[in-house]
Chain A
Amino acid sequence: MDFDLRGLLRRVAEEVEAEIKQVEKELATARRRGGRARELAAVRDILYEDKWFRIATAVYARLKRQFAEDAKAGELLGAARSRLFGLRLEVVEVPMLKIEAAVDQDGRVAAVRCRAALDLGVEAVFEGVAPGYRLKKTAQTSKTADADAAEDVKHRDGGREEADVERRGAAGRGDEVERLLEEVRREFSGLPVYVGWRTDTST
């Protein structure tokens, strides 16, 4: 399977960045002529915040469509790391996303591992082998890749533990600060967010 990982990443990033640029353009126009500048600025901020989350999710989903899930992926990647069987390891790393690929002599991607740090303390991992790829004399039994990757994202939620640490820490900072933090937390009830407090103001 000939698969250009860097090209995939570049295309996805360009799509997301084009959307941000479009909003920046509309915002500049709104500021000159007067208009919905405030609303556009809010949209722009959200797009900036969500940029790497969206890129990581899209790359992860597209990789899952291209590769069958297989336990042998780790074996092939390991082989590539030690440069056996003519495989080489190619690593693409950007914020929130690390892709490792075992590439054969013809440039075909044999196996891939995508680690998407989708958010604070949360990691999605996908390992897949190109359908029909053989490792030495062991035939790979390929499964059909699930097209809807989003449903299969495995993650661990580190938020609860962090929030507990925060609550314990807040105990010594005075009741008023803690009361305000609790009020804010209540507003986000049911959402996976972390509400914290810092003394430095250099944001």
Chain B
Amino acid sequence: MSLLRTRDISIHFGGIAALDEVDLSIEAGEIVGILGPNGAGKSTLFNVISGFLKPAHGRILYMEEEITHLLPYERVGIGLGRTFQHVRLFRNLTVYENLLAAQHRHLSSGSFAAMLRLPGWRRDEDQAHARVEQILDVVNLRPWRDARPGELSYGTTRFLELAAVLSIKPKVLLLDEPASGIQQKEVEALGPLLKQIRDETGVAILLIEHDMGLLLKTSERIYALDFGKIIAEGTPDEVTANDQVLESYLGRTRRKSTATA
């Protein structure tokens, strides 16, 4: 039984098929990479899985239950976390407040409890603050506790974003180019880090990454996507040896270079 599965997902933008009958699945605790050139539909696929886009056709199954109709926040509620290709975060909130906001899912007290300082609110606040204090130490963001994301290096905001999305304790984590814009040294550490996160939490990770080294080293299984279609699936070795993948990935650049030459 797969943890998350898409069936025949299709979506069109102005007559162009951004996704064309995409079937993929991910097991609990698996790290699955998605390979594909720019415009292949990778981020669109993430938007469909996380509920930010409605597919024209197809279904999304999570633990064998259909979740196609669920809104993005409801999918977070059942354990689907995601990051964005461009770091979002809350720009006007501090690092601490960002992490506090990420605790939302684990709290339950209402607005009147807060306005009247009822015990339920107190318990929630204690729990949320204790967790964030802990996370700050673990991710080594304490020196930036009161800084706003704009004051951090891009790499640091990536880790803040990762810490925030892990705070929701997802069962499936969709990472959209986590290595883009960060230093090479940090990129190299990211692979082992993702594996470690997986080992310690059992989270399944679906990974979009342009850094081929990272993608191939980290993923246990890879789907290759081109023009919205899955053109190959298998282990990193199998996929990189696939003719169609070579054609779409390397062939295109070859063609391009001959054209410009």
Whether A associates with B in a native complex is no
